Structure 1
């Protein structure tokens, strides 16, 4: 269920309002990147993913059938914790299984098992034997793989692409209330979206004619857009205006 305005114990002084932004933000709950739908305090520039603002107290996951995950404001204990989905450090909100010691970022825990827009369908796997389009490695983190099995992207690699390309924008626009999504910032984002074009063209040149290379890159570009949307916490958001330049350069 979605609410237009909520109170949250992580930010008790002001209410958080629901909104949408095409400008990336850093979630003040899980400390991970976000875009699209969120809950925001405009007074303090405090942002939460929808998954972090309205978490499930407990959840189960089909990859870990013997685990029961509990939502916590921070990982327990003093040792470092890492997300079992993306292998990134857990420094804020987390789903933790006390019995197994497994951890999942809220957005990773809620990743859809299938991404489908009617043309491209991607399935989430715990491990995939095929190489990732970005890092060319196989088993690393959870991955999305296309039905045709040609396109495979690690969840970890998608996060790395976003952080590497948008780090400067976080530091420059995040402090000035970038969550509002002014047009100039959005245009700059469009030029800094991570590009896989060279990688994908090389991949397809090895097996295909020139015409098939272009089509293959277009399909892989769509796959990347879907995965980015899901990893950022909003698999249904329309971020084509930002991510649409992915394959155009």
Structure 2
């Protein structure tokens, strides 16, 4: 990467930040510049990126890391523009944000049970945006499918947006009594997860709430 200063793991997880690498919103773990007056910050996936990578959705296919996207390119997982770091395959022509390439295959609840599984298809309208297509006309992208029925799903793009968009709206002093609102319904309080920095548990809480509201 072109940033010349040493990066270090941030001691606290952030509710929202703009990654200097891929230019995408982030939340949780990040790497920051060793100089306090430098605002350079990276997703964990961008800071720990490798030159070549693979993905289970693409057999016998290597993705190469690029640091600057060409104008007009977009991610085949979420449909959002490629503005900075991205991975691309010369074989398939597909391109992915670093965070999209590293999406978890399964989302687990607190009991360790799989409640959502990553899919390269969108089997139904997204339970969050109520549409099958995202961003671009006739583009569906990837989704997380609820294991409860194997059909209900949430777009990867919606899933990525929900956490930083909702966390950044609440002042820190009010998080203990704040509720998250998705699909027009009040769901569950995830303040404890936010204060302790356990964003993973927050994600599980979010998707479980979506599943309940969808039912």
Q: What TM-score do the two structures reach when normalised by structure 2?
A: 0.72
User: What is the deviation of 1:22?
Assistant: 3.2
Contact 1:31 1:91 in 2 (8 A): yes
Q: Which residue of 2 aligns with 1:17?
A: 8
How is 1:220-231 mapped onto 2 (pairs within 5 angstroms)? Answer: none
**CA distance in structure 2 between the aligned counterparts of 1:84 and 1:193, rounded to whole angstroms:** 32
The Cα shift of 1:154 comes to 0.3
Q: Paired residue for 2:48, among 27, 50, 54? A: 54
Larger radius of gyration: 1
Distance in structure 2 (CA, Å) of the matches to 1:121 and 1:189: 26
Shift of 1:130: 2.0
Check conservation: 1:162, 1:193, Cα contact below 8 A.
no
When residues 95 and 196 of structure 1 are mapped into structure 2, their CA distance, relative to the original with a 3 A threshold, is same
Cα deviation code 1:102-157 (max 9, x no counterpart)? 11000000001111132452100011322211122236121111211264110112
> Which secondary structure does the structure 1 equivalent of 2:184 belong to?
helix
2:179 is the counterpart of 1:196: no
- Call closer, same or farther: CA 1:141–1:195 in 2, change over 3 Å: farther
Q: Which residue of 2 aligns with 1:145?
A: 145
Counting helix residues as a fraction of each chain, which structure ranks higher? 1
Question: Which residue matches 2:102?
Answer: 110
Cα–Cα, structure 1 residues 47 and 95, in superposed 2: closer, same or farther, change >3 Å?
same
- 1:16 Cα deviation after fit: 1.4
Does the 8 Å CA contact 2:117/2:146 hold for their aligned counterparts? yes
User: Residue 135 in 1 paired to residue 121 in 2?
Assistant: no
Match of 1:64 among 58, 66, 73: 58
Which of 83, 86, 100 aligns to 1:94? It is: 86
Paired residues of 2:16 and 2:164 also in contact (CA < 8 A): no
Q: How many residues align?
A: 190
| 1:34 Cα deviation from its structure 2 partner | 1.1
- CA separation of 1:79 and 1:37: change in aligned 2, threshold 3 A: closer
Bigger mean CA deviation after superposition, 27-36 or 63-72 = 63-72
Partners of 1:131 and 1:157 in 2: CA distance: 12
Q: 1:87 to 1:39 in 2, by over 3 A?
A: same
Q: Pairwise CA RMSD of aligned residues?
A: 3.6
Q: Taking structure 1 as the reference length, what is the TM-score of the superposition?
A: 0.63
5+ residue gaps, structure 1? 1-8, 171-183, 202-216, 223-233
8 Å contact 1:94–1:103 — kept in the other structure? yes
Please list every run of 5 or more consecutive structure 2 residues that lacks an aligned counterpart in the other structure: 134-139, 191-196, 211-215
- For residues 143 and 26 of structure 1, what CA distance do their matches in structure 2 show? 23
Q: In 1, Cα distance between the equivalents of 2:71 and 2:17?
A: 27
Structure 2: distance between partners of 1:65 and 1:88? 24
Aligned position for 1:155: 156
Question: Would the aligned equivalents of 2:107 and 2:115 in 1 still touch at CA under 8 Å?
Answer: yes
2:75 matched residue in structure 1: 83
SS in 1 for 2:29: strand
Q: Is this contact kept in 1: 2:122–2:155, CA < 8 A?
A: no
